[in-house]
Amino acid sequence: MLKIKGLKKSFGETEVLNGIDLEVNSGEVAVIVGPSGGGKTTLLRCVNGLEFCDEGTIMIENNYLCENGVYKEKKDFNEVRKSIGLVFQNFNLFPHMSVLGNLIEAPIRVLGEKETKAKEDAKEILRFLGLENKIDSYPYELSGGQKQRVAIGRALALKPKLMCFDEPTSALDPGLTGEVAELIRSLAKDGMSMLIITHDMDFAEKVADKIYSMKNGTLLEGNVFTN
Ligand SMILES: Nc1ncnc2c1ncn2[C@@H]1O[C@H](COP(=O)(O)OP(=O)(O)O)[C@@H](O)[C@H]1O
Ligand SMILES: [Mg+2]
Give the tens place of pLDDT for each residue, 70-111. Answer: 998 988 999 999 999 999 888 899 999 999 999 999 999 989
11 in contact with ligand 1, CB cutoff 6 A? yes
- Per-residue pLDDT, 173: 84
16 in contact with ligand 1, CB cutoff 6 A? yes
The pLDDT mean for the chain works out to 93
Percent of the chain residues past pLDDT 70, beyond the cut: 99
The Cα-based distances of 84 to 13, 81, 98 in angstroms read 29, 6, 23
pLDDT at 227 over 70: no
Question: What ligand has the least distance to the C-alpha of 37?
Answer: 1
Task: Please check whether residue 87 lies inside any domain of the structure.
Answer: no
Give the tens place of pLDDT for each residue, 29-69. Answer: 999 999 889 999 999 999 999 999 999 999 999 899 999 99
Structural domain range at position 140: 93-159
Task: Please check whether residue 75 lies inside any domain of the structure.
Answer: no
Instruction: Give the position, in ligand 1's atom list, of the atom nearest the Cα of 35.
Output: 22
Confidence of residue 199 (pLDDT cuts 50, 70, 90): confident
Task: Please check whether residue 112 lies inside any domain of the structure.
Answer: yes
- Residue 199 carries which DSSP code? S
Task: Please check whether residue 47 lies inside any domain of the structure.
Answer: no
Give, using CA atoms, the residue closest to atom 9 of ligand 1.
42
What's the structural domain count of the chain? Answer: 1
41 in contact with ligand 1, CB cutoff 6 A? yes
Question: What ligand has the least distance to the C-alpha of 18?
Answer: 1
38 in contact with ligand 1, CB cutoff 6 A? yes
To the nearest 10°, the Cα dihedral for 165, 129, 177, 205?
A: -60
Task: Please check whether residue 127 lies inside any domain of the structure.
Answer: yes
pLDDT at 226 over 80: no
Ion ligand 2: residues, CB within 5 A, are: 40-41
How many whole angstroms from 195 Cα to the centroid of ligand 1? Answer: 18
How many whole angstroms from 41 Cα to the centroid of ligand 2? Answer: 4
Task: Please check whether residue 129 lies inside any domain of the structure.
Answer: yes
> Residue 20: CA atoms inside 13 Å, Cβ hemisphere, count?
35
* Section 200-204 average pLDDT: 91
Task: Please check whether residue 203 lies inside any domain of the structure.
Answer: no
Give, using CA atoms, the residue closest to atom 10 of ligand 1.
11
Task: Please check whether residue 134 lies inside any domain of the structure.
Answer: yes
Straight-line distance from the first to the last Cα atom of the chain, in angstroms, rounded to the nearest whole number:
28
